């Protein structure tokens, strides 16, 4: 089996500050937690930004530049900037920071979908900020827009024009066929780094049978031209990433996708989750990839060719 790439998704745009005091919000918190995750063994860091005043998801390049240089200076991890941002943002907003920063890697969401966060609001009664409740409850009528035209624009703007390669976020089997379509159009080049995303309400459920099926179809569509990673939301994170590691895949953890370290226990940092999955995958006999290994496996352009 190949060395295993651990990705850590530091803060995201799904969880809100009232859900956990450990969710990083300010540039300093994001930078410190990203550096800690890299030190714990993450070779790819997936990054969103937040407004430091209230923790609201932010598309501002200024907010991203508050931590990107610091993380780059303190670690050789691959910095992967989200093009998903938040489903409430326009595509122009979502692309502003990655267009300016020209990172080695970006996420790319392979289909338009529902992205239902509102069930989480029912568990909170003490809100830190006034934006949180309407943000979560409004997701019952929110479309996370990723049309083929949007996907083609991201591939061109960030891939062709700026040398980024992609973490293809596939939330369902249909997204694998969309990626195949773009490969047939010659707009994406192998090796494809495909993130199977489980447990988002609007995407495929976190059942082990679905991991088996996603891999079966990805094997059929992409053969030796792809590597799969797995992320799963909430309590499903460790069980499904453990399965992925046993199947020869890569793994993604981080507070973007789950706030806990064990049932009913909040993780105090991203590094805690990285250390936990690292212990598990090493017990399974997998060797953790370094950032240099990840760059070689995925054909990345190098940190020296970013614009931050
Ligand atoms: N939030 C994760 C479920 C992105 O940032 O482009 C998927 C993700 C999307 O990370
Ligand atoms: Zn993300």
pLDDT at 50: 98
139 within some domain: yes
pLDDT digits (tens, 9 = 90+) for 152-204: 999 999 999 999 999 999 999 999 999 999 999 999 999 999 999 999 999 99
pLDDT at 5: 99
Q: Computed from CA positions of residues 124, 128, 133, 135, in that sequence, does the dihedral angle turn out positive or negative?
A: negative
Q: From ligand 2's centre to the CA of 82, what distance in Å?
A: 5
Q: From ligand 1's centre to the CA of 205, what distance in Å?
A: 16
CB-ligand 1 contact for 107 (6 Å cutoff): yes
Question: Which of 57, 257, 270 for mutating ligand 1's site (highest number of atoms within 8 Å of CB)?
Answer: 257
Percent of residues, the chain, with pLDDT higher than 90: 100
**What residues pack around ion ligand 2 (CB closer than 5 A)?**
12, 82
Percent of residues, the chain, with pLDDT higher than 70: 100
91 within some domain: yes
pLDDT at 45: 99
pLDDT at 87: 97
134 within some domain: yes
15 within some domain: yes
Angle, in degrees to the nearest 10, between helices 270-283 and 237-246: 40
Q: 109 with 158: CB under 8 angstroms?
A: no
Confidence of residue 1 (pLDDT cuts 50, 70, 90): confident
80-117 residues labelled b (16+ CB within 10 A) or e (exposed):
bbbbbbbbbbebeebbbbbbbbbbbbbbbbbbbbbbbb
1 within some domain: no
135 within some domain: yes
Q: 89 with 57: CB under 8 angstroms?
A: yes
Q: Computed from CA positions of residues 212, 218, 220, 222, in that sequence, does the dihedral angle turn out positive or negative?
A: negative
Supply the mean pLDDT for the chain.
98
116 cis-preceded (ω within 30 degrees of 0): no
- Which ligand places an atom closest to the C-alpha of 105? 1
CB-ligand 1 contact for 169 (6 Å cutoff): yes
34 within some domain: yes
Helix, strand, or coil (residue 109): strand
Residue 140 lies in domain: 6-305
Q: From ligand 2's centre to the CA of 188, what distance in Å?
A: 20
Ligand 1 atom closest to Cα of residue 13: 1
Question: Which of 45, 169, 252 for mutating ligand 1's site (highest number of atoms within 8 Å of CB)?
Answer: 169
Residue 31 sits in a domain of what CATH number? 3.20.20.70
Residue 231 pLDDT more than 90? yes
CB-ligand 1 contact for 86 (6 Å cutoff): no
CB-ligand 1 contact for 32 (6 Å cutoff): no
pLDDT at 295: 98
107 within some domain: yes
Report angle CA 289, 294, 295 to the nearest 5 degrees: 150
Give how many domains the chain has, as a whole number: 1
CB-ligand 1 contact for 229 (6 Å cutoff): no
Residue 93 pLDDT more than 90? yes
Angle, in degrees to the nearest 10, between helices 208-222 and 173-184: 10
Q: From ligand 2's centre to the CA of 9, what distance in Å?
A: 7
CB-ligand 1 contact for 102 (6 Å cutoff): no
């Amino acid at each position: 089996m190949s060395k295993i790439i651990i990705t850590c998704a530091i803060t995201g745009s799904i969880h809100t500050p009232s859900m956990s005091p450990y969710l990083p919000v300010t540039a300093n918190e994001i930078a410190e937690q990203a550096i800690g995750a890299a030190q714990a063994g993450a070779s790819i860091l997936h990054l969103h930004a937040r407004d430091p005043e209230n923790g609201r998801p932010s598309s501002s390049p200024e907010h991203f530049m508050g931590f990107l240089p610091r993380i780059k200076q303190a670690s050789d991890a691959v910095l992967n900037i989200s093009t998903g941002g938040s489903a409430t943002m326009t595509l122009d907003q979502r692309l502003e920071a990655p267009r300016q920063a020209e990172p080695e890697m970006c996420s790319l969401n392979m289909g338009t979908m529902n992205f239902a966060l509102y069930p989480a609001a029912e568990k909170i009664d003490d809100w830190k900020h006034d934006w949180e409740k309407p943000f979560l409850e409004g997701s019952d009528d929110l479309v996370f827009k990723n049309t083929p035209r949007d996907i083609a624009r991201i591939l061109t703007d960030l891939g062709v024009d700026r040398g980024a390669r992609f973490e293809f976020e596939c939330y369902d089997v249909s997204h694998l066929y969309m990626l195949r379509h773009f490969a047939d159009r010659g707009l994406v080049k192998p090796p494809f780094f495909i993130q199977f995303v489980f447990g988002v309400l609007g995407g495929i459920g976190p059942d082990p049978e679905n991991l088996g099926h996603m891999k079966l179809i990805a094997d059929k569509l992409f053969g030796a031209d792809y590597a799969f990673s797995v992320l799963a939301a909430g309590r499903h994170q460790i069980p499904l990433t453990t399965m992925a590691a046993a199947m020869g895949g890569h793994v993604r953890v981080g507070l973007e996708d789950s706030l806990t370290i064990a049932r009913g226990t909040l993780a105090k940092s991203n590094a805690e989750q990285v250390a936990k999955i690292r212990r598990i995958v090493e017990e399974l006999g997998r060797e953790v990839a370094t950032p240099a290994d990840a760059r070689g496996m995925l054909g990345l352009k190098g940190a020296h060719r970013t614009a931050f």
